[in-house]
Amino acid sequence: MNTTTPIFDVIIVGGGLAGLSSAIHLSTKALHVLVIEKNSYPRHKVCGEYISNEVLPYLNYLGVDVFQLGAKHINEFQLSSTTGKLLSTRLPLGGFGISRYCLDAAMANHAIESGANLLEGVVENITYENDLFSVKTKDQGVFQAKIVIGAYGKRAQLDRQLQRKFIASKSPYLAVKTHVEGDFSENVVALHNFRGGYCGASKVENDHINLCYITNFRAFKKHKNIQEFQEHVLYKNHHLETLFNNTNPVFEQPLTISQISFEAKKPIENHILMCGDTAALIHPLCGNGMSMAMRSAQIASELILKYYRDKDFTRNKLETQYTKAWTANFKSRLKTGQLIARVFNAPKASEAALKGLKWFPSLLPYIIKQTHGELMQVP
């Protein structure tokens, strides 16, 4: 072993919500942590920016107060069909709206204050040999650790290097996000369907409205550009036409990401603990991806601490228990999300579903609960 290679207790690849949550959690417990993130802070990300209140106990435990950062309290959910039929309900737990531009930067600063090391760089390769990981970066050299957390998002070149199975599957979805200013109730998160996709809307700090939609790339490419697609497809739902036409854009241009895949992934790959979207991607219409990211980070962090404190808690036990806990927390949510997506991707089925929910209004809160967890428990 090269004794000049920096060695950490934990290396976290990716500085989003999952990676930063783990960085804060582990650093405050005196572990030597390195976070490698390819982008600088602050930066906008394509994201729904609504988070369930289930994470608030954990954020408080980490020392992050989202309401001091300007987060908006949200307690009402609105759902519309492709033809604009609208249904409203109270959210069982409630949630809050905050931009990733604000939250990620605040958590990164708090991670540094907690003792974590943050490095801006691109990870090219991760190898595991003799119970030790070597993480090779593009420009900053090689770092080593006993534990590596993968929290680098939905899809990366690193997935190919790790030969993850999902990477060979088609990734037919495209997502678009923008912030606008205008009239929108700050206590509401809305989900408006259109043919081939759905758009979420909620307020974040500074009274900006986050608009983020996902669609099938095949449907999108029939149009010349984003504006034409919106005019010919999204605006068939009059709620979306109003949101886009009666507000003023904050961004010069919308943000986009492509090659979004909902194929199954594994929570452990080559002994790496995968967290957040790196482990699985729930359909955005469920509005719970960020909560799941932080919950997976909590699970991983608590088990890693046990690994370092208990000499009888082997790597094999760590990986087995992480997989078991991850499955217990998320498998059912993911299946429910897939089922809901299938329904709302079929216009006739979504119209029928809306009619059924109007007849049985208690069903909608029940469905929401199936894609969300309970309030996160902390020590």
Exposure string of 25-34, with b = 16+ CB inside 10 Å and e = fewer, is bbbbbebbbb
Instruction: Please answer whether residues 89 and 361 qualify as being in contact, where contact means their C-beta atoms are separated by less than 8 angstroms.
Output: yes
Query: Strand, helix or coil at 155?
Result: coil
pLDDT for residue 261? 78
Query: What stretch of H or E contains 150?
Result: strand 142-150
- The torsion angles phi and psi of 63, rounded to 5 degrees, stand at 90, 30
The pLDDT of residue 286 is above 90:
no
pLDDT for residue 264? 83
As to burial, measured by CB atoms within 10 angstroms (0-12 exposed, 13-18 middle, 19+ buried), residue 363 is: middle
Residue listed under structure tokens 């930066």: 43
| Amino acid code (one letter) for 82 | T
**2 — pLDDT class (breaks 50, 70, 90):** very low
By C-alpha distance, which of 44, 74, 338 is closest to 201? 74
Q: What percent of the chain has pLDDT over 90?
A: 72
Q: How far is CA 238 from CA 45, 230, 232, 367, in A?
A: 26, 12, 12, 25
- Assign residue 271 a region: left if phi > 0, alpha if psi is -120 to 50, beta otherwise? left
> Does the N-terminal peptide bond of residue 42 adopt cis geometry, omega within 30 degrees of 0?
yes
Instruction: Please answer whether residues 354 and 78 qualify as being in contact, where contact means their C-beta atoms are separated by less than 8 angstroms.
Output: no
Q: How far is CA 350 from CA 6, 120, 196, in A?
A: 54, 44, 11
Q: Are strands 142-150 and 7-13 parallel, antiparallel or unpaired?
A: parallel
Torsion of CA 83, 250, 258, 195, to 10 degrees: 10
Q: What percent of the chain has pLDDT over 70?
A: 99
**334 — pLDDT class (breaks 50, 70, 90):** confident
By C-alpha distance, which of 193, 199, 340, 369 is closest to 262? 340
- Looking at CATH, the fold of the domain delimited by 7-67+99-169+262-346 is given as FAD/NAD(P)-binding domain (3.50.50)
Q: Report d(CA 210, CA 151) in Å as an integer.
A: 24
Q: Up-side HSE of residue 11: CA atoms within 13 Å toward CB?
A: 27
Q: Report d(CA 156, CA 167) in Å as an integer.
A: 9
Q: Report d(CA 355, CA 357) in Å as an integer.
A: 5
> Does the N-terminal peptide bond of residue 57 adopt cis geometry, omega within 30 degrees of 0?
no
- What residue spans define the domains of the chain? 7-67+99-169+262-346
pTM of the predicted model, to two decimals?
0.94
pLDDT for residue 62? 98
DSSP structural state of residue 286: G
What mean pLDDT is predicted for residues 260-269? 88
pLDDT of 85-114, one tens digit each? Answer: 899 999 989 999 999 999 999 999 999 999
pLDDT of 169-227, one tens digit each? Answer: 777 889 999 999 999 999 999 999 998 889 999 999 999 999 999 998 888 889 989 99
**285 — pLDDT class (breaks 50, 70, 90):** low
